[in-house]
Structure 1
């Protein structure tokens, strides 16, 4: 993997520095349209060009060139309460702290272009699939467990779909993924590194008829070998390995009446691939996670109020990948999404989408211990609580 040119760093930070609002450090903020239905059916509905973020084959459902861009504001809150910290030397003390996650704005952009006279459709995209940014106060008492943990990514994609028959389409694409890691534990660990990995995605779309269709997609996410400065326990290195999980998603859309459609998605995320942050130059792992595979299930509905207005809503249950190990550096829990949104067609060529979601995380007990000096150990036990509001807007233009 080559070092990513620094001229792109500002764009990457704008796109991806934030607290993840899905389980693990996954991001579900690829479009305001999807946000308004909890991303249910997002890989097959194809109501604008953002569908390529979920399923490249579904680009075949778009009949004219289309540009879609927008963003999602994330207003998140992660609190650490009932925290008991036992240092190597001294008595157990309270280590509770509020609001360790930062708010953010996550933009995205897509362009889909059916190639005239052929059965091919070409698409290009910029968005993010992964990221987290947890920052504890500089004077946090349990500094070996707090500090800063920032893992970010930006996905630059190009994809092609082929309509095999009037019912069946295939798609595939190449993803160039910029990854960045900043991890700091005062006096113990300091990581600043970034790099590029290359992934791909495959998809299929099948239309039973104009009102019923399903889609299946697979996304390969590479390990990012980020170059930079790594210092841990007196050792130093110039790279860190950030493993990203593969994803498999099934989506369906069924228009049951002239006014109402039901849609759904089931996503599987291979979080077991994110077992640890490592560097080949260090004698031990930077951080062990040992997560297990997880994913989400979402259902939603769209009500076609008029030719100009569509209303939508959705619900998602998002399963956390944490298992035997838990960590304050990426606090996680099962999450429930409640979503609503609307589209307004300004004309045959233009539309605006609005979406809002409330994400409620379950309270989660975190227990960690750390051996800094052989024969001694510090530990912390705490309750973490996470919730967030996501508010998004999208503009689409059909040429």
Structure 2
């Protein structure tokens, strides 16, 4: 059940306003969203929170807020356009539920669109909004609204893997008040609380044994609390080392399951739970001179928490359905460079490698057909006045081709017999990201 601190109507209203801004395609590993800064996008998020050129330290390393003076606001968005293609086959074989042993030949077998590819790509926008105020020379307060996790895949109703998934969505919004304190000229600490709103939707075709498929869709929402903290140490002027931690957040989704078959439609209560994992970020920034600086980053994500997805509902055979994920922990490594071309212009670039949490071909699912990827980013900042900064960033993601041999079981009405639906083939994909951002300093 939802561990909510707000009444249901207030929670739903907040989701409809905020999460609608964050229906996102995940482009960190798994369904993690890294795009909480447009300046960070341009350097592939190397050294995030330690550069001091925008307010996104709230999301990455709150200790970095001590690099900012005065009162500032920031608003931006990153547009994501992705394509994810599948080539392969789906085969359904009657099998014993208890052992998985086949008892007859396939009852269906279909290639992807007659040998062409199936597209699971989507487009979305990720917002970032921040506020920072200097209470004293050594104390900062801030507030952020950003999206740390999200997912969107949509194959359509007739693709070969429709019994595995048709569409999947996860939307999150973090409301993140933050405090940062400079303890000494070298050491700063930061702490933040997160109130996270989440919405989820999962749909797939239902095997009926007839030419007319059924359809099932789960929708639910949730809210939960988390926290983040960070430390930053200035080794020498222009040389900074940072370490930050963002806690896990367990979202308990309450909603409904709607099932439509040739015999009619029904609605059932339903629930599921997802633990969004904790992350650890290590960053380093080194100024080479007054114009040139280098940034490096390493992020660990505890994706091994996502070992299964269990949907509970009286509308399911046996009262529940479990999808085995068996994910592993991941690393992301990044490097970037900033060049201050003039007082008004700064140019930047970066590269990153992002490891997939999917542990094997058997656990690469149609809902999250994740793969290792490379980032290549470019960006620029323009300061038309001392108070206003306009940031732009661009990145292209190159996903490695990834095979799948994932099997799901389809109910037949006979408790002893299921259809083992094997989805075998290969995924390929890429993504293009473009962001714009405005920063304004009031004093």
Q: Confirm or deny a common fold (TM above 0.5).
A: yes
Q: Determine if the alignment matches structure 1 residue 262 to structure 2 residue 298.
A: no
Of the three residues 102, 108, 121, the one matched with 2:128 is: 108
CA distance in 2, matches of 1:235, 1:92: 30
CA distance in 1, matches of 2:22, 2:37: 14
Residue 94 of structure 1 corresponds to 111
Q: Determine if the alignment matches structure 1 residue 226 to structure 2 residue 253.
A: yes
Q: Is the 8 A contact 2:42 2:394 kept in 1?
A: yes
2:15 is paired with a residue whose SS is helix
Residue 154 of structure 1 corresponds to 173
Q: CA offsets, 1:346-386, max 9 Å, x none?
A: 11111111100000100000111122242542211021112
Instruction: Quote the offset at 1:14 in angstroms.
Output: 2.9
Q: CA offsets, 1:262-296, max 9 Å, x none?
A: 11110000001112222566754442211000020
Instruction: Quote the offset at 1:232 in angstroms.
Output: 8.4
Of the three residues 68, 74, 90, the one matched with 1:85 is: 90
Q: Is the 8 A contact 1:79 1:99 kept in 2?
A: yes
CA distance in 1, matches of 2:188, 2:400: 39
Q: Is the 8 A contact 1:240 1:277 kept in 2?
A: yes
Instruction: Quote the offset at 1:231 in angstroms.
Output: 6.1
Q: Select the structure of larger CA radius of gyration.
A: 2
Structure 1 residues 135, 145: CA separation in 2 closer, same or farther (over 3 Å shift)? Answer: same
* RMSD over equivalenced CA pairs, Å: 2.0
CA distance in 1, matches of 2:364, 2:339: 41
Q: Is the 8 A contact 1:227 1:238 kept in 2?
A: yes
2:126 is paired with a residue whose SS is strand
CA distance in 2, matches of 1:215, 1:156: 23
CA distance in 2, matches of 1:223, 1:151: 14
1:186 is paired with a residue whose SS is strand
What are the equivalent positions in structure 2 for 1:182-201 lying under 5 Å apart?
Answer: 182-187=201-206, 189-201=216-228
Q: Determine if the alignment matches structure 1 residue 288 to structure 2 residue 334.
A: no
List, as ranges, runs of 4+ consecutive aligned residues in structure 1 with deviation greater than 3 Å.
88-91, 230-238, 279-286
| Structure 2 unaligned blocks of 5 or more | 94-105, 207-214, 261-265
Residue 339 of structure 1 corresponds to 377
Aligned residues: 397
Q: Is the 8 A contact 1:243 1:277 kept in 2?
A: no
Structure 1 residues 378, 278: CA separation in 2 closer, same or farther (over 3 Å shift)? Answer: closer
CA distance in 1, matches of 2:124, 2:409: 35
Instruction: Quote the offset at 1:237 in angstroms.
Output: 4.1
| Structure 1 unaligned blocks of 5 or more | none
Q: CA offsets, 1:44-81, max 9 Å, x none?
A: 11211122110111111111111111100101111112
Residue 285 of structure 2 corresponds to 253
Q: Is the 8 A contact 1:153 1:179 kept in 2?
A: yes
CA distance in 1, matches of 2:311, 2:404: 26
2:201 is paired with a residue whose SS is strand
Q: CA offsets, 1:302-355, max 9 Å, x none?
A: 111111111100000000000031111111000000000011111111111110
